[in-house]
Structure 1
Amino acid sequence: MYIKNVESIIYCSLILILSFFAFIFFNAKLFNTKIPKIILYIIFGIFLGPYSLNVEDWFELHRVGARIGEIYALSNVALGFLIVTSFSNIRSAEKQVDLKSLTSYMAGTFAALLLALSTSHIVLRIAPGLTFPSQTVGEERATILVLALAVIVTSVPFLTKIFIDLKMIGTTFSSTVLVSACLLDILIWAVFPISDVLRTQSQFDLLPVLTSLVMTLTAAGALFLVTFSLVKLYDTWAQRHESRQIGIAFIIAVSLAAALTSASLGAGLLLGMLIAGLCLGRAKSIAENGMPFLAKLAQWIFIPAYFILVGRGLVFDNAISIYDIAVFLLWSSALKIASVTVTHFLMSKNARQSFLNGVVFNTRGGPGLVLATVAYSMNLINVNAFSAFVVASILTAPVTELVLRYRADHAKTSTVGDAALEGTL
């Protein structure tokens, strides 16, 4: 590739190196603060953004789209391994999943999806900046589907991190929430390719839509069977030949292979990582050997790297509408929280607990950011919608952490004690 200026390379390299060491100091000093660390990582990424623009000039990457593509590729690696390591925590308590609660969570999310699909056109009238000015009927349908999926997306990695930090991992509540979130994200990435089909249609045709969905589900099912078989064979071998190094290498190889295979089949990188996590998380030898190391790596490298890259991506030349972002944030959060709250209340008859669950399932986090970058890079949404998705993903995650932390502290100081963490939470 053509390099324009050697001096600028040296200058920017020094900036990046100094920024890296500043971040280590920054992370260590603020590690025990009450401020959500994700917010701090994003702020650091925003600070890094203007300097890193010069780095892109070396390779003549002048377009915002190219920048988003670069960030998407890098951040998916970090997010993917966060997802994979999350599943070892689901496995440890999979027998404690509350099927009634899981059903209520899924029903609430489906209700939110249907409400989002039926009210999206109203939102686009209230906030026209969320869509392109001159769209065909097919393109508008595709945008509406993406908006609806952005409402129901739920973050497995971030919820796992919160549950680990609050020592809630392994409770019935955390296991049920994580399994539900996993199923929802698999559904989202199975449905997402339909948006590309919709925008090419002048009149709605159900057959291509069903064909796309069936092909994606078939590809995902085949990938799951192959990955599950490989993991089972390795697990049998590893029980006789324990090796942490081989376990780590196997996890990385299987995760990347599943992600690349899924992407090549048109299903997206994240679906492959979800499938890899489901399979790898069930293997006892992998959970005991490779996963603990990767989980620590995720905590100290993948999480900061991912959200720093997110902050770095929040620099645009276009004017962004705060009004449109606020409309999307309020609309999507109201639908998701209300739907899950109502369906869970019908089962539990506990309004406070049901509202808490609604807030938890409103956590978009990393998967919401990936949905934003993929949809934006495919020109399915404009820069305002992209920014709205990003802001919603960023804000809902710390809110969930603060709410659960308050609830956990309240449970510990109540007369119910630890039972509250196991039951109510």
Structure 2
Amino acid sequence: MFSLTGAEISHFLLAMGCLLAMAHLLGYLAERIFIPRVIGEVAAGLVLGPTILGHFLPDTFKWLFLGFPTEDKLFGLLYQFGLLLLMFCSGLKFQTRFNREDAKITTALVIGSTIPAFIVGWFAANLFNITPLMGTANNPLAIKIIIAISIAITSIPVISKIFNDLGIMHTRFAKIVVACAGIHDVLLWVALGFATAISSQEGIFTIGTALKSIGVSFGFIIGTLVLGYLLFKRMTIIKQNILFRSNNLGYFLFIMFMLASLAGNLHVETIFGALIAGIVAKVALPKAVSERVDQGVSHLSFSWLIPIYFATVGLQLDLVRHFDPLFFLAYLMFATLTQTVAVYLTSRMVKQDPFTSFNLGLAINDRGGPGIVLSSVAYTAGIINQEFFAILVMLALVTSWIPGTWLRIIVNKGWRLMPGDENMVPLRRNDEDKIKSINKTR
């Protein structure tokens, strides 16, 4: 009933192993040339997918990834697990403690980087023909929302990974950027939930539909945040909580799966549940416990399921037959300039200097993981077609590349990120450092 044949298991493990190894290999090589690791992981899917392997050796690609009837569904399952864990890890990066000045800057950036960019993206969708970009849902309103979100969205996981890799996560700059990304992405996920809701209703849109979708999303977020905070605070670290005592990480994964399931049953995107579970764990638990959870889930996720998720995104792309480079370049320039200018002007309004404002503009322009999640969800829901899916994924990758490279230059030059980070000392210690230290002790 719940079994695969020995040949199917062996075949799937071979395909998954090849994909995972390629993701880690290209991710490592990307970091060596100062490119965010996520770009290398998606590139693994491009190499082994329809873009390269499927183009030159189509029979080999089909044998490896479509070798038996349910293989694609197994990769789909790992893809969903990786997506949930990515959002859970993003929630665990959420920042909550600010002084008054930092709170003021963060609030201004949330407003300034979300509303103007979203509005510009919304009206820009009216300037070109979006019909060729629509998916099977054939819903113009839904795709306009997706376009607006793609302009305004920011990446918590990728920008956090860049900060960690550079050893600057402890800086004031990183704290403000991660908080800004977390808050306004939650708002944009609500918009995404609304887009997927109306796309599943065969294009039927009424004020009642809009209010119900947005109300359910906000109700779920606020309700789970408040109730989850109270329950986590009171019921997690007590003797009677046998599940927590038996396995701390297993307990939080259980919470994540339950909230994701609840979100799905309420017709809210399941990623909401995983994100809220991570945020609640971050804000409600003692720092030592939340950091231990973050460390434990990160080791599992970033070693296996999250690289598989990003590589599987690459597997779905066919840049040979379903990609328009000229349209992509135009869309990239438009999205980058819109978001960067909006953040720059907002930062100057709260009296930050030009260099700090430019740094914030580039960092908040990083679409990374959420940009890929946006494209994945919209493509799965039939809102966008494969061509626009490829455009949005490439937009997320390139806008992760730009701030990653720029911030590395700043750190290497010893320049100041923003006022308060004048005496910044990068805190870096990666796996390669550990290997070197082990070799020295031999």
Superposition TM-score tier, normalisation by shorter sequence: 0.7 to 0.9
The residue that corresponds to 1:377 in the other structure is 380
TM-fit CA distance, 1:207? 3.4
Deviation at 1:298, TM superposition (A): 3.6
2:105 counterpart letter in structure 1: S
Mapped partners of 2:362, 2:187: distance in 1: 20
Instruction: Please tell me whether the aligned partners of residues 78 and 305 of structure 1 are also in contact (alpha carbons under 8 angstroms).
Output: yes
Correspondence 1:58 to 2:68? yes
- Identity among equivalent positions (%) equals 21
Q: In 2, distance between residues paired with 1:322 and 1:233?
A: 54
Change (3 A) 1:420 1:407: farther
Normalising by structure 1, we get a TM-score of 0.82
* 2:314 corresponding residue in structure 1: 311
1:229 aligns with: 230
Deviation at 1:249, TM superposition (A): 0.9
Structure 1 residue aligned with 2:115: 110
Matched, 1:187 2:187: yes
Aligned to 1:359: 362
Which residue of the partner structure matches residue 64 of structure 1?
none
Structure 1 pair 89/23, CA: closer, same or farther in 2 (3 Å)? closer
Shift of the 361–196 alpha-carbon distance from structure 1 to 2, 3 Å rule, reads: same
Q: 1:70 to 1:385 in 2, by over 3 A?
A: farther
In structure 1, C-alpha distance between the alignment counterparts of 2:211 and 2:244, rounded to whole Å: 45
Residue 253 (structure 1) shift:
1.0
Deviations 1:39-83 (A, max 9, x none): 32222222232455334352178xxxxx6x876653342243234
Aligned ranges 1:22-101 → 2 under 5 Å: 32-49=32-49, 50=54, 51=60, 53-54=62-63, 55-56=65-66, 58-59=68-69, 73-91=77-95, 98-101=102-105
Aligned pairs for 1:21-420 within 5 A: 32-49=32-49, 50=54, 51=60, 53-54=62-63, 55-56=65-66, 58-59=68-69, 73-91=77-95, 98-108=102-112, 109-122=114-127, 124-125=128-129, 129-131=132-134, 139-196=139-196, 205-237=206-238, 246-282=247-283, 283-284=285-286, 286-315=289-318, 319-411=322-414, 419=422
1:285-334 deviations in Å (ceiling 9; x for gaps): 53243332223334433443332222222237954322332232222222
The Cα of 1:198 is off from its aligned counterpart by: 5.1
1: distance between equivalents of 2:291 and 2:408? 28
Question: Does the residue aligned with 1:58 lie in a helix, a strand or coil?
Answer: coil
Q: Structure 1, unaligned stretches of length 5 or more?
A: 62-66
The one-character-per-residue Cα deviations of 1:317-353 (angstroms, maximum 9, x if unpaired) are 9543223322322222221111111111111242222
Aligned partner of 2:403: which letter?
T
What is the alpha-carbon root mean square deviation over aligned residues? 3.8
Instruction: State the 1:269 CA deviation.
Output: 1.7
Q: Which amino acid aligns with 2:254?
A: A
Q: Distance in 1 between matches of 2:334 and 2:233?
A: 44
CA 1:25/1:365 → structure 2, altered by over 3 Å: closer, same or farther?
Answer: closer
Q: Does the CA contact (< 8 Å) of 2:336 and 2:365 recur in 1?
A: yes
Q: Contact 2:36 / 2:162 at 8 angstroms: preserved in 1?
A: no
Q: For the structure 1 residues 141 and 71, does the alpha-carbon distance in structure 2 shift closer, same or farther, using more than 3 Å as the test?
A: farther
CA 1:21 to 1:219, structure 2 compared with 1: closer, same or farther past 3 Å? Answer: closer
Relative distance call for 1:77 and 1:121 in structure 2 (3 A) is same
SS at match of 1:348: coil
Aligned pair count reads: 409
TM-score, normalised to structure 2's length?
0.79
Which structure features the higher share of helix residues? 1
Confirm or deny: 8 A CA contact 1:369 1:393 kept in the other structure. Answer: yes
Residues in 1 aligned to 2:144 and 2:207: alpha-carbon distance in whole angstroms: 16
AA partner of residue 292 (structure 1): Q
1:389-418 residue CA offsets vs partner (Å, 9 max, x unmatched): 11111111122211111122233599x995
Post-superposition Cα deviations, 1:126-175, rounded to whole Å, max 9, x if no partner, equal x764346996xxx2222111110111121111111111112222322212
1:53 counterpart letter in structure 2: K
